[in-house]
Amino acid sequence: EVALQVPDKAVESVCPYCGVGCQLTYHVKDNRILYVEGRDGPANHERLCVKGRYGFDYAHHPHRLTRPLIRRADAPKRGDAVMDPDRVMEVFREATWDEALDLVGERLRTIRDTHGKRALAGFGSAKGSNEEAYLFQKLVRTGFGSNNVDHCTRLCHASSVAALLEGIGSGAVSNPVMDVGKAEVVIVIGANPTVNHPVAASWIKNAVKNGTKLIVADPRRSDLARLAHRFLQFKPDTDVAMLNAMMHVIVHEGLVDEDFIAGRTIGYDELRRNVEGYSPESMAPICGIDADTLREVARLYATSKGSMILWGMGVSQHVHGTDNARCLIALALMTGQIGRPGTGLHPLRGQNNVQGASDAGLIPMMYPDYQRVDNAAARQKFEQLWGMPLDPQPGLTVVEVMHAIRAGTVRGMYIMGENPAMSDPDANHAREALAALDHLVVQDIFLTETAYLADVILPASAFPEKTGTFTNTDRLVQMGRQALDPPGDARQDLWIIQQIAARMGLDWHYRDVSEVFDEMRHSMPSIGGITWERLQAEHAVTYPCLAEGDAGDPVVFTTTFPTETGRARFVPADIIPANERPDGEYPRVLITGRQLEHWHTGSMTRRASVLDAIEPDPVALVHPLDLEEIGVRPGDVITLESRRGEVSLYARAEEGTPRGAVFVPFCYYEAAINKLTNAALDPFGKIPEFKYCAVRIRAGGTE
Ligand code: SF4
């Protein structure tokens, strides 16, 4: 039927899912997307994965929120309440925009004026545009009056960013994904790009075909491992042991780049002394990789003309996530494998705009462009720009906000496009915290698990219903364009933020999204040279782009690092065990992550008909021998339990999952695996340990 229809317009935009940032074209008829095609963007050259190609009809789903909703007075909030989409109107009633917004403004103002400015907090979204992220953090900092603003970057690469800022002065990638084609050796560690960054994975596969040696290091054997020159299936939680052993080899065999170390770094002697105690022989039993393989991989990486490291959340989501990233940075620095095409460090960013949202200041310790809130000069600059005094104290991070709610110090929240009831660790605790708020306003396109705990729900616009800029994992600022009108009374997110700002006493007058972008770029040196007009004409511009007309630099740190001294810094790391180790009671390790077909908490992809048809049910991936040990067959229902909760779901046999571990995607509301995960934090990045906690498995479901 679709094939017979002729689109009445084609709109050029970008994919709403992962950080690869594929450019695409929506083909639209009668305000419905008929189909999507890949465009010749810098990151995808017409390629799209299954999500980009088929994951768009969520925008037309009958579950879309189309009217503001206010919780009924006789519908108390309970963290353990089970949502029934057919009985929503028993809990909420429809309202006009004025009624809903006035109620939000009155409640948030009352909390601020009664309990102080830090009693309010806001979570923005890595799915929103740069302009939405910028205005959201500006609203929290000026209208709420504190730095209690964060988003899901805290849950994905906060530790990587902490290590990168500390070590090389910038949290973004040094080289684009496409540089794998110029590298002789590529290490992919703690990442499963075939599933999570599929088009990026396709470039890696092409590079291998052309002779690049691929090293895959991961406790789970991914699809990419089939193409690897060497696959290091190290034991979960032993990254530092393995990486320090590689550095030990590089030091002992004289494979370091002495000129690079002398001319461009500080702290090498301390690092050298530290890795002395990490010989491959002593680390092999700890990490599970034999000493000869550790030696071979270290030599390959150090001696190639160009070696590149890409990593994902297998590295970052640990209590030692920052230490893991410190080791990767040290590897690159000691061998001089950075600052040239085909080298460098690339933390694969998760959501389509997690890079841009972080750049725009949607984090509690930094203003836009990573200018620290506790730096007097930076604060003065933004006080001048925004016309009011600002809180000098860094705000609370995602998990810290939940603790603060339970302690009674945070009492009101504004959540735009995030779903912490599903995505936060120890989700039962997070849901109880959200239910305990005096006032919660949620802005979203669906009645998410978080929205179900709200006092007021504001119906927002889906990705194809708005125009804005989005920054991909390669530092490419790209233009997303509106293809559809929002349904019913749903509104543009920028409009909603401004309406709340007005009710918090702010006097803003943005007539168009381009005016927000313009203000933003004048406060952010890294994108200062990118104009709206140029983005409209070219669709994508790489930063740093300091002055109008600059080409933008895909490869950075070629001669200097953006640190105070211009030099990068080695930071040694030692082994710190996971916060919760398996024991007799909970003998297995739970690893969480994503699936190819589903995205994050599933609110969009589970409402995309093709994607949901491919993967409709919650599954746990377990080694077949472990399934035998537990006494179940693939397809049987099993129950996973941790000290924090339990969920029942289907068992799937997967030989790539290590013995003693279980991998579960976190996108299924009916088996919300984050009820089991541990909220222990990395002390630097404040990222929770999603990649390791103790569980047990039993056959059968819950009663
Ligand atoms: Fe979208 Fe990422 Fe797939 Fe590209 S690789 S189509 S950006 S989900």
Instruction: Report the atom number in ligand 1 closest to the C-alpha of 44.
Output: 4
Query: How far is 132 from 516, CA to CA, in rounded Å?
Result: 9
Query: How far is 560 from 607, CA to CA, in rounded Å?
Result: 47
Query: How far is 23 from 21, CA to CA, in rounded Å?
Result: 6
CA-closest residue to ligand 1 atom 2: 18
SS3 531: coil
pLDDT along the chain (703 residues), means of 10: 80 97 97 97 97 96 96 90 82 97 98 98 96 98 98 91 95 96 98 97 98 98 96 97 98 98 98 98 98 98 98 96 98 98 96 94 96 97 97 96 97 97 95 97 96 97 98 97 98 98 96 97 97 97 96 96 97 97 98 94 94 97 98 97 97 97 96 96 95 97 75
pLDDT of residue 2: 54
List phi, psi (to 5°) of 422.
Answer: -105, -35
Instruction: Report the atom number in ligand 1 closest to the C-alpha of 200.
Output: 5
Instruction: Report the atom number in ligand 1 closest to the C-alpha of 53.
Output: 6
User: 281-328 pLDDT, tens per residue?
Assistant: 999 999 999 999 999 999 999 999 999 999 999 999 999 999 999 999
pTM for the model: 0.96
Q: How far is the CA of 14 from the centre of ligand 1 (A)?
A: 9
- Ligand 1 pocket test: which of 13, 15, 25, 192 has the largest number of ligand atoms within 8 Å of its C-beta? 15
The one-letter amino acid code at 264 reads R
Instruction: Report the atom number in ligand 1 closest to the C-alpha of 20.
Output: 7
Q: How far is the CA of 613 from the centre of ligand 1 (A)?
A: 19
Q: How far is the CA of 21 from the centre of ligand 1 (A)?
A: 6
Residues 6+ apart with CB under 8 A from 365: 147, 372, 373, 374, 394, 395
Q: How far is the CA of 204 from the centre of ligand 1 (A)?
A: 15
CA-closest residue to ligand 1 atom 1: 52
pLDDT of residue 1: 52
- Ligand 1 pocket test: which of 13, 22, 44, 127 has the largest number of ligand atoms within 8 Å of its C-beta? 22
SS3 209: helix
Q: Say how far residue 319 (Cα) sits from the centre of its chain.
A: 17
- The tokens 């789970």 sit on which residue? 220
Q: How far is the CA of 198 from the centre of ligand 1 (A)?
A: 6
Q: How far is the CA of 691 from the centre of ligand 1 (A)?
A: 23
Q: How far is the CA of 225 from the centre of ligand 1 (A)?
A: 20
Q: What angle do CA 253, 259, 263 make, to 5 degrees?
A: 135
CA-closest residue to ligand 1 atom 3: 49
First to last CA, the chain: 44
Which residues approach ligand 1 with their CB closer than 6 A? Answer: 15, 17-18, 20-22, 44, 48-49, 51-52, 197-199
- The total number of residues written for the chain in this structure: 703
pLDDT of residue 3: 59
Interface ipTM? 1.00
Q: How far is the CA of 197 from the centre of ligand 1 (A)?
A: 6
SS3 524: coil
Residues 6+ apart with CB under 8 A from 507: none
